[in-house]
Structure 1
Amino acid sequence: MAPAGRCLLRCLAPLFFLLASGLALPDADAASARPQAGVTPVTVQSKRIERFRIGAGDETAGDRLTFLGGLELLSGNRDMGGLSGLVVTGDGGDLLAVADNGLWFQARIVSDPSGRPIAVEEARVAPMRGPDGRPLADTGRGDSEGLTLRRTADGAELLVSTERTPHIYAYPFPPDLGTSGRDIPLPAGIRKLRHNKGMEAIAAANSGPLAGTLVVVGERGATFADDLPGFLIGGPTPGEFTVARQDAYDATDAAFLPDGNLLLLERRFTLRHGLGMRLRLFSADELRPGRRAVGEVLLEAGYTDQIDNMEGLAVHEAVDGATILTVISDDNRSILQRTLLLRFRLD
């Protein structure tokens, strides 16, 4: 495509994004398309992304991040998409995500010796089941957005948040995709979050000063200008806090680093600013009841970078001890958007 054509597409990206969101399948249609019982294999093709900065000659992404590579994930199965919450375990190859129509997505990430992802294999989807054993989407609770792994005295469990009807469900880990979830008690304040701007980011602190705490950050506050609502559930200092809202960004996911500090993934799409992605780092000391957390911007990306509607964030430690971030996008099951999997090393 000629440079003028590429420029036009980039300039129109926010409009395409808004149209794609409007074309996303409603819950009822998604429910009729997904597998109703058991696990369904999905064929996924991968298109490698070599550079994060379009046209750049190096792999730096901000002052403290190095881009390790990425993949565009392609599939003819309409259940492959809409990915939001994300957990990566093992050596960084075991991926588990939730889709926003109440589906599990499980796959294996294949990487080369340098850590660059080269393919996704053994992909499969399955309906997520509520405490009554029924698929969440069949009971109007399929808007699953957040996923985190919580370590407990007895082992570990997966926590999944739903947005429109606020719930957090606990599932066993290692994952059994046919198991029913267990409802987790929530603070009363979470019930007051906006219908479609609610529990978007959840992260369990498994180490550091907040060990034992589940952090929840709402996608947006009561108005466009308000700070983001935050909740500390359990742990040493339960309560509510806020996250400073900056530059029209909304929260989409969160994950704790091994040192106990928190990473927040944020997304923006407006006709004025275009499509954007941001990573903010918060010290554990900022996450206290009554505090307004501001944090430090590690990465901000826009139309000159390989991004889409970035909604899922996971952190794992590589064999050599490096801290690796994996970010995934929600394509709204639209031909106008992409499912991207990006990897960075925190330097």
Structure 2
Amino acid sequence: MGTAVRRSTSFLLSVAAVLLVVPRYDGAERLPTIRDRPMVTANPYVPAGGWPDRIGALAPVGGLTLSSSDPAFGGFSALALHDGRAHLLSDGGNLVTLALRGGTVREPRGHVLRQGPGVGWDRRDRDSESLTLDPRTGHAWVGYETHNQIWRYAPGYARAERHSAPAAMRRWEPNLGAESLVRLRDGAFLTFAERKPNRRTRHGLLFTGDPTVPGAKPIRFLFQPPNRYDPSDAAELPDGDLLVLTRRFQYPFRFTAKLVRISRADIQPNAVVSGKTVATLAPPVLGENAEGLAITQERGETMVWIVTDNDAMVLRPTYLLKLRWPRSEREK
């Protein structure tokens, strides 16, 4: 093989390798839709060197890697848990629910959000980035990042019931909007923008009720995440405070994440809220794009769940982690 041919072959292989691991951000990309019953494979995940006893304030319980031959599986940007099932929402309007049983997953089901802010199936039409559920009724709310809209869906995602484009979100940057959405136990809703208004702070809104109700007016505040980190999801702790998942991407290909606790009492009109970092996820424990967060109660214990977004790259599995918030740490 000649030198020129070898160089050409090496270049093409390098390009192919990059395309397999680097996220695709073309907004015009045609998105696949998930099957009704996708085949999902779950394997135990143990980081290199094993699990540490603690990750900051949290104690690891375990983890899974999830994969599927379905081309629409993955890219999960939000996580919710309801009635023993994990709800994994992709950034393309596809949703997978799984029954969790003793470290295994069963009965995977696929759902497609066929009604949304766009009329097609390009990424810009279906940029679903955040999800929250009403545990009593099963209603779901989805935040669409590109359009800066919030949609409410009937139980089981059967249909869209109503939606809104809150005036307070209209100036949020396209593709950097409602990255987080959480329904609080008192019926309030909280959302964060991924970026802006500047390098150090992010837009935050607290709705006193359903944000899709006409005329809903939120409290505006600013969230100051750890330096160079962006909020990717949030969940409510048992005492009413908020746990915010933040993540950072560094070239050439490295992710880290920080969990930040903020006091609900600190969320006031025009306040700047920073909170306290309670855990950092970094290699070798996790070096992936942590985007979804949920909190559950199990026999009086608080469990923190995190799901990663593989950016639809076939060589990157989806990680689902479970960590325990020790009672001694919760009381600090």
Deviations 1:9-35 (A, max 9, x none): xxxxxxx999845436756421xx325
| Kept after mapping to 2: 8 A contact 1:49/1:72 | yes
**Counterparts of 2:53 and 2:112, CA distance in 1:** 38
Query: What is the TM-score normalised by the length of structure 1?
Result: 0.80
Which position in structure 2 is the counterpart of 1:71?
64
1:232 aligns with 2:206: yes
Which position in structure 1 is the counterpart of 2:134?
150
| Kept after mapping to 2: 8 A contact 1:146/1:253 | yes
**Counterparts of 2:51 and 2:239, CA distance in 1:** 32
| Kept after mapping to 1: 8 A contact 2:116/2:126 | no
Amino acid at match of 1:141: D
Which position in structure 2 is the counterpart of 1:302?
282
- Residue 66 of structure 1: how far off its partner (Å): 0.9
Which position in structure 1 is the counterpart of 2:111?
126
Counting only pairs closer than 5 Å after superposition, residues 312-331 of structure 1 correspond to structure 2 as: 312-318=292-298, 320-331=299-310
Identify unmatched segments of 5+ residues in structure 1.
1-15, 112-116
Q: Report how many residues are paired.
A: 304
Amino acid at match of 1:34: T
- Residue 234 of structure 1: how far off its partner (Å): 2.2
**What SS class does the counterpart of residue 189 from structure 1 fall into?**
helix
Which position in structure 1 is the counterpart of 2:154?
172
**Counterparts of 2:276 and 2:238, CA distance in 1:** 17
- The structure-2 alpha-carbon separation of the partners of 1:186 and 1:151, relative to structure 1 and needing over 3 Å to count, comes to farther
Deviations 1:167-208 (A, max 9, x none): 1111223x2x4x2213333431211111111110011111xx
Query: What is the TM-score normalised by the length of structure 2?
Result: 0.83
Which position in structure 2 is the counterpart of 1:61?
55
Percent identical across equivalent pairs? 26
- The structure-2 alpha-carbon separation of the partners of 1:17 and 1:120, relative to structure 1 and needing over 3 Å to count, comes to farther
**Counterparts of 2:140 and 2:51, CA distance in 1:** 39
| Kept after mapping to 1: 8 A contact 2:81/2:294 | yes
1:29 aligns with 2:8: no
Which position in structure 2 is the counterpart of 1:9?
none
| Kept after mapping to 1: 8 A contact 2:29/2:123 | no
- Residue 47 of structure 1: how far off its partner (Å): 1.7
- Residue 242 of structure 1: how far off its partner (Å): 0.4
**What SS class does the counterpart of residue 41 from structure 1 fall into?**
coil
**What SS class does the counterpart of residue 278 from structure 1 fall into?**
strand
**What SS class does the counterpart of residue 137 from structure 1 fall into?**
coil
Deviations 1:223-262 (A, max 9, x none): 4x13011001125994100011322101111111122111
1:43 aligns with 2:51: no
Amino acid at match of 2:115: G
Which position in structure 1 is the counterpart of 2:4?
none
RMSD in angstroms over aligned alpha carbons? 2.7
| Kept after mapping to 1: 8 A contact 2:23/2:312 | no
- Whichever of the two has the greater Rg, that structure is 2
Amino acid at match of 2:46: E
Identify unmatched segments of 5+ residues in structure 2.
1-16, 210-215, 327-332
**Counterparts of 2:151 and 2:311, CA distance in 1:** 23
Amino acid at match of 2:134: R
**What SS class does the counterpart of residue 265 from structure 2 fall into?**
helix
